[in-house]
């Protein structure tokens, strides 16, 4: 047996936060040394942060990254660590990882496959490293210039051979692991910055498991953690597999700065698997980088390996992931933006209620893991709590960090007011009520005077609806400004698709936490939150006041019986059309044909009407989507034009395609 202890550390980094990123790396290195980890993998671009965007193009960024690497080196005494950073080599910039052994740089490996789809723009900043190419790089690391290997490398440390797949490398069809296996590596380390998306963890687990089996290696995967740069949330996944068997898994969605996962592996087991795979023949295409460092052995006892939490194999994985990912995203956004709490314009409906629940659970989940005093310090609430005696309670934290405001007009009803108040009180949030009807009437009189005629619902329906939503914005903005808080927008993805939102009204806010999720799922999630709730939090019965309602903007007079689905179409239908049209890039006629197959209980002509309505509203409202506050990426159906789904603000509006649809559905004439 050749036993060694390997580990991966999830880190909650921030782009260009040189001192903070360094300190979190150092903390992870020290924790690894205390647990006698021999080889540690840190996430991709851990020094600079992954989300530096066009700042990567500044020559000062890779220079500063090397300076920080030099500051970290003394902390690697007694272990081997893989530390990611951007590196300039010759005329290009590369997404690289430095392998450090006992305080010495042994070489840099560069990423071969760049992520350039969806929310990723790596080819804008980095060059892909050519397979098989090796060179050398002169670096200044505090003790004079040093020349070290650079490129497609493997390393030999005391007979332990190490290779790399860097994030996207493992997702590519021609992943480097197969070549590394032929070159006789024992360990493949994968430093990653893989954003959260629903069900993505199972894909990661498969390529880690399959990589360990097919390549006959121990595979160590370490991901970023938290809301790094604003839009992407990282779940902090750490996976270790050997011989096709998962031997360690870290806990996801931690609210800590770092989380170490380690375990003991037997290299002889993987070497036997390699010998069987290769038929006993070792194929080498180059000599490895030979490092004069003795890798410490290990015993099988002495440490507890973290395991998957029960909810990850339960019946509500998507609901749990949504609650935890958005809560973590909100918590990090709050503290990294140095805001002093959240403000929500609470309508008593599904969207604002979901946002309020998520804001409260951000504090509750963080306190359960870190303790209330630590959360108070992280959120800048310690001063507000100084007068209180003893440890602050979770209710203290929520009261100081979450404010809900119900803003009534003449068309608001007691049902929604009661629902908003009941939920806010149940969550422990501060609660206010504003009556904005006088402001609505003042604007109405101003415009009627300018036009020289009265405004009527028959002629001016849209304008009279929008002014009610719009006058609700200044008051909550002012409340947020006074307290230095972050105003949360409450629009969802289904409404963003068709522009069913008032600009500068319900779209107001600095962050739109649910703009990446569809309304049908959101309504189902609220029922789940009411009855079950996340593991460790439990149900929230007060939500019954919201889930019992039909969604309504409540902007027309009560006698109109306004509902969202009457204005638009059933949300389940809307979400299907959106998936066909936007995710799958289908034209109107193809969408209608698929819709007829998916929902045969609906008349084809009605489905055609709804399909045409969707495409017309989609085309007219791109300008609204361009103005939405930043939202969290949750799946591959994101509509955010700045990161995922680009569409022209001005277009022909699918006129020819819609004519084909009308003809096929018999709607002409």
Question: What pLDDT shows up at residue 280?
Answer: 44
pLDDT at res. 347:
95
**CA angle, 519 as apex, 514 and 523 as ends, to 5°?**
100
CB 469 within 8 A of CB 502: yes
Domain ranges of the chain: 3-308, 314-563, 569-669
Q: Which helix (H) or strand (E) holds 451?
A: helix 437-451
Mean pLDDT (the chain, rounded): 93
* Torsion from C-alpha of 575, 580, 584, 590, nearest 10 degrees: -170
pLDDT (0 to 100) of residue 304 = 57
Please provide the CATH number assigned to the domain covering 3-308.
3.60.110.10
Q: At what angle do helices 604-620 and 655-665 cross, to 10 degrees?
A: 170
Q: Does domain 314-563 have CATH number 3.40.50.620?
A: yes
Taking only the tens place, the pLDDT of each residue in 594-609 is 999 999 999 999 999 9
b/e map of 241-256 (b: 16 or more CB within 10 Å)? bbbeebbbbbbbbbbb
Sign of CA dihedral 55, 60, 65, 71: negative
DSSP state of 621: T
Q: Burial, 511: exposed, middle or buried (Cβ in 10 Å; 0-12, 13-18, 19+)?
A: buried
Tokens encoding 633: 């990426």
Q: Answer whether 252's CB lies under 8 Å from 201's CB.
A: yes
Per-residue pLDDT tens over the stretch 265-308:
999 888 887 777 755 445 555 678 988 888 888 876 655 566 78
> What does pLDDT average to in each consecutive run of 10 residues of the chain (669 residues)?
94 98 98 97 98 96 97 96 97 97 96 93 96 93 86 94 97 93 94 96 96 96 97 97 94 97 91 70 66 81 69 95 98 96 96 98 97 94 75 94 97 95 97 97 97 96 95 97 96 94 93 95 97 96 94 85 90 96 96 97 97 97 95 90 92 96 89
């Amino acid at each position: 047996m050749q036993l060694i202890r390997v580990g991966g550390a999830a880190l909650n980094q921030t782009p260009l936060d040189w001192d903070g990123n360094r300190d979190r790396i150092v903390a992870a290195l020290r924790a690894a040394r205390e647990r006698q980890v021999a080889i540690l993998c840190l996430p991709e671009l851990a020094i600079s942060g992954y989300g530096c965007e066009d700042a990567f193009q500044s020559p000062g960024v890779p220079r500063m990254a090397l300076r920080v690497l030099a500051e970290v080196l003394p902390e690697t005494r007694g272990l081997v660590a893989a530390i990611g950073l951007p590196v300039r080599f010759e005329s290009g910039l590369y997404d690289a990882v430095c392998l450090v052994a006992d305080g010495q740089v042994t070489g840099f490996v560069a990423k071969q496959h760049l992520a350039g789809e969806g929310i990723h723009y790596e080819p804008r900043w980095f060059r892909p490293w050519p397979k098989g190419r090796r060179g050398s790089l002169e670096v200044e690391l505090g003790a004079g210039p040093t020349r070290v290997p650079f490129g497609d490398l493997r390393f030999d440390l005391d007979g332990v051979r190490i290779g790399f797949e860097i994030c996207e490398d493992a997702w590519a069809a021609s992943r480097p692991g197969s070549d590394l296996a032929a070159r006789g590596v024992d360990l493949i380390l994968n430093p990653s910055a893989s954003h959260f998306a629903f069900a993505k963890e199972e894909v990661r687990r498969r390529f880690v498991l399959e990589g360990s089996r097919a390549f006959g290696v121990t595979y160590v995967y370490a991901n970023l953690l938290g809301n790094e740069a604003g839009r992407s949330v990282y779940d902090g996944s750490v996976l270790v597999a050997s011989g096709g068997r998962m031997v360690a898994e870290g806990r996801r969605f931690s609210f800590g700065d770092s989380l170490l996962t380690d375990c003991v592996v037997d290299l002889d087991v993987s070497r036997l698997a390699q010998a069987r795979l290769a038929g006993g023949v070792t194929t080498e295409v180059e000599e490895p980088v030979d490092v004069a460092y003795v890798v410490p052995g290990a015993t099988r006892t002495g440490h507890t390996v973290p395991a998957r939490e029960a909810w990850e194999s339960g019946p509500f994985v998507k609901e749990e992931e949504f609650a935890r990912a958005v809560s973590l995203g909100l918590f990090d956004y709050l503290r990294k933006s140095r805001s002093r709490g959240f403000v929500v314009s609470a309508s008593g409906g599904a969207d604002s209620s979901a946002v309020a629940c998520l804001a409260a659970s951000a504090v509750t989940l963080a306190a359960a893991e870190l303790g209330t005093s630590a959360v108070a310090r992280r959120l800048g609430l310690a001063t507000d709590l100084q007068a209180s005696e003893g440890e602050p309670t979770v209710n203290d934290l929520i009261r100081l960090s979450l404010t809900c405001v119900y803003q009534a007009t003449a068309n608001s009803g007691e049902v929604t007011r009661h629902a908003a108040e009941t939920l806010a009180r149940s969550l422990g949030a501060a609660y206010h009520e504003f009556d904005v009807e006088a402001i609505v009437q003042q604007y109405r009189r101003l415009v009627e005077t300018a036009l020289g005629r009265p405004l009527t619902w028959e002629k001016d329906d849209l304008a009279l609806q929008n002014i009610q939503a719009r006058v609700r914005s200044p008051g909550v903005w002012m409340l947020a400004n006074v307290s230095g808080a972050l105003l949360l927008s409450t629009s969802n993805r289904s409404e963003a698709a068709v522009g069913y939102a008032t600009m500068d009204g319900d779209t107001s806010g600095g962050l739109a936490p649910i703009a990446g999720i569809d309304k049908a799922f959101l309504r189902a999630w609220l029922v789940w939150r009411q009855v079950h709730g996340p593991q460790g939090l439990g149900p929230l019965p007060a939500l019954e006041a919201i889930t019992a309602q039909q969604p309504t903007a409540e902007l027309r007079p009560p006698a109109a019986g306004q509902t969202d689905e009457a204005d638009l179409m059933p949300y389940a239908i809307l979400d299907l059309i959106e998936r066909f049209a936007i995710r799958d890039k289908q034209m109107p006629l193809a969408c209608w044909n698929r819709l007829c197959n998916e929902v045969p209980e609906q008349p084809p002509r009605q489905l055609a009407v709804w399909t045409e309505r969707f495409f017309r509203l989609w085309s007219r409202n791109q300008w609204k989507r361009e103005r939405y506050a930043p939202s969290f990426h949750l799946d591959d159906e994101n509509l955010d034009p700045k990161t995922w789904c680009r569409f022209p603000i001005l277009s022909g509006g699918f006129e020819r395609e819609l004519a084909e649809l009308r003809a096929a559905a018999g709607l002409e004439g």
